[in-house]
Chains A and B, each alone.
Chain A
Amino acid sequence: MKGCTVIWRRELAALFFSPLAWILFALALFLEANFFLLALVQGGGEVNGALVLFLGGGWPFWLLAIFVPPLITMRMISEESRSGLLEFLLTAPVSDAAVVAGKALAATTFLGLLWACVFLHAGAVSLLGASPDWGVLATAWLGATLVGALFSALGLVASALSGTPLLAAFLAILANLALFFLPLLRDALRGILGGRVAGLLERVDLHAHLSGSFLRGVVDSGHVAFFVAWTLAALFLAVRTVESRRWLG
């Protein structure tokens, strides 16, 4: 995994030296702030429920989580492959796994910083006299970052499979939507696909693992392992796909 840190820094620098990252930040902050205010008004000024809205507690989080990681990862492999840069990278004394891991870490770091903007809101209401539950915020942020890591890994798989960034983004968004909606449709699909497949869908239920611990202020090793395991599985696929490119030439 030598060179992973170099790739990570390079990708992170590339992200933040691109206007897209700042536009995404601005858009996310604007959405977060407005939904936060709406939640405050509707909740009678209660801050903790409003703060976790963007860390997995509501649909605004999922809206960003499904669409932002594909936009971040769409160019990471497919664009470099199209421009010929990927070949240079793969011939460097850096393993394919290190390349993929470095890019995944960069995307996850970006998303972690994006979710961390909620702490700005928490700081603001804290200055106004409220006492946010920092423990719940920290665990919810951890959960949101793990979701971001998983979706970034899927984005890298799509980017490795696709020849163009747009196609990569499209495939990644489809995969994210499937992962988001299929567990919700579990009961409806049980009759069609049978109990075993429905049971399998329970094993990829992001909502249950997020709300069962992270959103309650609890760090549960089982739920952390859930996200880490699926992220590693996706990254493994991405590495295998990049290796296949090498052999296909």
Chain B
Amino acid sequence: MSSGRWTRVSLGLQAVLAAVLAVVAALFAVEVADWRYWRVDLSLARKNSLDPAVLDVIEKLPEPVVVDVFFRALRSPYDGVAAQAQARTLEYLRVVGEARRDRLEVVVHDERAFAATQERLNELGVEGSNKVVVSCGARKAVLELFGELALVDWGNPSEQGVRYLYEQGIAGVASPRSWDPRAFRPAQFQEFRGEEPFVAALMKVSSARAPRVYFTEKHGEPPLAGSEPEGLARFAAALRTDGFEVASWDPLAAPEVPADAEILCLVGASQPYPERTREAIARWIQDGGQALVAPAQRELEEPQEQGLASLLAKFGLVLRPGIVCQPVRGLDGLPAEGQPECATLVIDDAGMTPGHPLTEPLRMRQRQVQFFVSGAFEAGGLEGEIGVLLPLVSSGKDSWRDLPPRHDWRLTPAAGETRGKQTLVTVKQLAARKLADGSVRQGRILAVGGASFFASALFDTNRDFALNALNWLAQRDYRLAVRPLPRGESHVDFQRGLARPLLTYGLGLAVPGVFLAIGLVVFLRRRG
């Protein structure tokens, strides 16, 4: 072989060796970097520091709370992900414990001190490991590390491994019988979810009672279970997490309001209640009951003589027919009407009444609420109960109440449909009344313009207001809070602001055009 060919072979071998060396060095560097690392959280949500809303909850705890941590290492190959989940949880609990040491104590039990750990477990009446127990006096809430506080994808590494996890009782692990030898996947730490379940546990143990909430049924209401976007499943689930007991009441089966009801929810009934039921509900509210009322879309289209409107009229609350609409902005930047988006209202702090416990927390944190097909309320009715009517959420000045021809929404202001602010959420507080048993109670009605406000489809936006509404009705003001956002969210009004035309013509055409023009100039100069 000529010397030239040997040179080429030699250089080729050197290149291959260099490639292998580079890959090995990179792999080694990546492994070393994963052993010891630091993380800096620059996000708006600031998961490394406690959210003010969580601090509020801790601040308002009626008694000090003890958090017992029982962690145990898992065997290989799960030791890594388990350690990661435990480390994240301990880090969060450290932040929590430091935030208010006088209100909350975090005790981490050493698994090696078996006797002491077991004694405390027996005291709490808890079995097993990898749990966090939040206790306040005699009340406690048990949180599972895997599945509640941290999400781990356990993968499918070996039959032995699957059996081990199954025997550990870890939630979410498939049975060894369903193990597939071909579907090999290592375990992987997915997400730390600690804040929400932990706050829910705090709320659960800090309350002496669980208020009972009844939703009416069998009158065309949206379902409390299921995955329909117009259903109330997410609302009901959130209430349970927040420490409420949720139940259903069929007025046809039992005409009187259940005796243990603290809050009655009349949400989305498209069929009228019988006269006897309406009278029973009215009596119950007059005797100090708390009611949440939200009409169905049908009631806004065709006000029914015996519908919700007639019930509200007894209390001086008038549900006006029609849907509240606001114009949207088209691509030309001019207000446009007659579009389905006109019936979707996004209300920010400008539309919320300041100073009220329900709206002030949302205003302070610049949150929004959203309505889809909402009615409006006014004060009126000579037969109305004496009391105070307070608007809480209102639409903008350019909104109007679109009156329907039957099933034909024009969504365009016509004669008789005047523009102006419309009250979308209002609260009526009745005069305090002394009952037969000597107690003094004050009935309240919180009226929301449309049942879709509480639907699963809008629940992400309306969750804080919806939960605060029920807590306020249950007179648990200490639980009024605005939860931390999963990440910093901010909205631009794409429907009604100037955003759409500015962004479309400005960013979409003008800016690229400028760069294209510069490129053309460069091209011509080079040619010249």
Binds A, one of B41-49, B59-67, B140-148: B41-49
- Are A22 and B518 interface neighbours, CB within 8 A? yes
Q: Which residues of chain B (488-521) have a CB below 8 Å from chain A?
A: 488-495, 497-500, 502-504, 506-509, 511-513, 515-516, 518-520
In the docked arrangement, what's the CA distance between A226 and B37, Å?
A: 12
**B14 x A244 contact (CB < 8 A):** yes
List residues of chain A with CB within 8 A of the CB of B15: 237, 240-241, 244
Collect the chain A residues with CB atoms within 8 Å of residue B7's CB.
Answer: 247-248
Q: How far is the CA of A233 from the CA of B8 in the complex (A)?
A: 23
In the complex, which residues 158-187 of chain B have their Cβ closer than 8 Å to any Cβ of chain A?
A: 182-186
Determine if B29 is an interface residue (Cβ-Cβ < 8 Å): yes
Q: Chain A interface: which of B19-27, B251-259, B299-307? A: B19-27
User: Do B44 and A22 touch (CB < 8 A)?
Assistant: no
Q: How far is the CA of A48 from the CA of B508 in the complex (A)?
A: 18
Q: Is A124 an interface residue (CB 8 A)?
A: yes
C-alpha spacing A138/B461, complex, angstroms: 26
- Residues of B within 8 A of A (CB-CB), count: 66
Known interface pairs A17-B522, A23-B519, A229-B30; A46-B489 also in contact (CB < 8 Å): yes
Q: Which residue of A lies closest to B37 (CB)?
A: A222
Please provide the chain A residues from 24 to 72 with a CB less than 8 Å away from any CB of chain B in the complex: 25-27, 29-30, 33-34, 36-37, 40-41, 44-48
Interface pair A217/B44, CB less than 8 Å apart: yes
Known contacts A19-B520, A40-B503, A45-B494: does B489 contact A219 (CB below 8 Å)?
no
Determine the main DSSP class of A at the interface with B.
helix
**B102 interface hit (Cβ, 8 Å):** no
- Inter-subunit contact B490/A229 (CB<8 Å): no
CB-CB contacts below 8 Å: A209-249 with B = 213, 216-222, 224-226, 228-230, 232-234, 236-237, 240-241, 244, 247-248
Contact B26 A232 (CB under 8 A): yes
In Å, the complex CA distance between A195 and B489 comes to 40
Is B515 within 8 A of A225, CB to CB?
no
* Residue B112 interfacial (CB < 8 Å): no
Q: Dominant SS at the B interface? A: helix
The answer to whether B115 has its CB under 8 Å from any CB of chain A is no
Q: A22-B518, A26-B513, A30-B512 are in contact. Are A218 and B43 (CB under 8 A)?
A: yes
Known interface pairs A190-B184, A221-B33, A240-B15; A130-B511 also in contact (CB < 8 Å): no
Task: From A27, A33, A48, A191, give the contact of B184 (CB < 8 A).
Answer: A191
Determine whether B119 belongs to the interface, using a CB cutoff of 8 Å to chain A.
no
Complex Cα distance, B494 from A125, in Å, reads: 10
**In the bound complex, do residue B516 and residue A248 qualify as a contact, i.e. CB atoms below 8 Å apart?**
no
Q: Interface size of A by Cβ–Cβ distance < 8 Å?
A: 71
A216-B43, A220-B39 given; A131·B490 CB < 8 A: yes
Do A23 and B516 have beta carbons less than 8 Å apart?
yes
A234 with B22: in contact, given A47-B491, A132-B490 (CB under 8 Å)? yes
**Pair A45/B502 contact, Cβ less than 8 Å:** no
B18: chain A residues within 8 A (beta carbon):
236-237, 240
Point out the residue from A44, A200, A224, A241 that lies within 8 Å of B491, measured CB to CB.
Answer: A44
Decide if B34 is an interface residue (CB 8 Å cutoff).
Answer: yes
B490 close to A26 (CB less than 8 A): no
Q: Are A135 and B42 in contact (CB under 8 A)?
A: yes
| A244-B11 in contact (CB<8A) | yes
CB-CB under 8 A from B461, the residues of chain A are: 44
Assess the A133–B184 pair: CB atoms within 8 A. no
Does B523 sit at the interface, judged by CB under 8 A? yes
Question: Which chain A residues border B502 with CB–CB below 8 Å?
Answer: 124, 128
Expressed in whole angstroms, the Cα–Cα distance for A139 and B523 within the complex equals: 35
Q: Which residues in A have their C-beta under 8 angstroms from that of B366?
A: 131
CB pair A46 B184 closer than 8 Å: no
Q: Which residues of A contact B511 (CB under 8 A)?
A: 29, 33, 120
Answer yes or no: A203 CB below 8 A from chain B CBs.
Answer: yes
Interface assignment of B487: CB less than 8 Å from any CB of chain A: yes
From B493, B507, B526, contact of A19 by CB (8 A): B526
A129 interface contact, C-beta 8 A: yes
Whether B42 and A129, one on each chain, are in contact in the complex, defined by CB atoms closer than 8 angstroms, is no
> Chain A residues with Cβ under 8 A from B435's Cβ?
none
Chain A residues, Cβ within 8 Å of B19? 237, 240
The reply to whether A129 and B492 form a contact with Cβ atoms under 8 Å apart is: yes
Q: Within 8 Å of chain A (Cβ to Cβ): is B436?
A: no
Given the interface pairs A220-B39, A247-B11, the reply to whether A129 lies near B497 with Cβ below 8 Å is: yes
Nearest B residue (CB) for A216: B43
Inter-subunit contact A226/B30 (CB<8 Å): yes
Q: Are A217 and B41 in contact (CB under 8 A)?
A: yes
- Is B38 in the interface zone, CB < 8 Å from A? yes
In the complex, chain B residues 30-80 whose Cβ is within 8 Å of any chain A Cβ: 30, 32-34, 37-45
Q: Tell whether A103 is near chain B: CB-to-CB under 8 Å.
A: no
B44 touches A135 (CB 8 A): yes
**Measured CA separation A44–B366 after assembly (Å):** 16
Q: How far is the CA of A233 from the CA of B23 in the complex (A)?
A: 6
Check A218 against B40 for contact (C-beta < 8 Å): yes
Q: State the Cβ distance, B12 to closest chain A Cβ, in Å.
A: 8
Partner of B507, one of A27, A120, A139, A228: A120
Q: Mark A127-161, 1 if CB is under 8 A from B, else 0.
A: 01111111110110000000000000000000000
Q: How far is the CB of B158 from chain A (nearest CB, A)?
A: 10
Identify which of A133, A226, A232 gathers the most chain B CB atoms within 10 Å of its CB.
A133
Inter-chain contacts of A234 with B (CB < 8 A): 22
Least CB separation from A157: chain B residue = B19
CB neighbours (8 Å) of A133 from chain B are 43-45, 487-488, 490
Q: In whole angstroms, what is the CA distance A139 to B26 when docked?
A: 23
A203: contacting residue among B30, B186, B519, B523, CB under 8 A: B30
25 contacts between A and B (CB under 8 A): A17-B526, A21-B519, A22-B522, A23-B516, A30-B509, A33-B507, A33-B511, A40-B499, A45-B494, A46-B491, A124-B502, A124-B503, A125-B503, A128-B492, A129-B493, A131-B44, A133-B45, A136-B44, A218-B40, A218-B42, A225-B32, A226-B33, A230-B30, A237-B15, A240-B19
Q: Could you list 18 further interchain pairs (A-B, Cβ under 8 angstroms) beyond the known A22-B519, A25-B519, A233-B25?
A: A17-B522, A26-B515, A30-B508, A33-B508, A37-B507, A41-B494, A45-B493, A48-B488, A121-B503, A125-B503, A128-B493, A136-B43, A203-B30, A216-B487, A217-B41, A226-B30, A237-B22, A240-B19
B residues lining the A interface (CB < 8 Å): 7-8, 11, 14-15, 18-19, 21-23, 25-27, 29-30, 32-34, 37-45, 182-186, 346, 366, 461, 487-495, 497-500, 502-504, 506-509, 511-513, 515-516, 518-520, 522-523, 526
Q: A-B pairs with the 10 shortest C-beta distances?
A: A217-B43, A22-B519, A225-B33, A135-B42, A133-B488, A233-B22, A229-B29, A222-B37, A233-B26, A33-B508
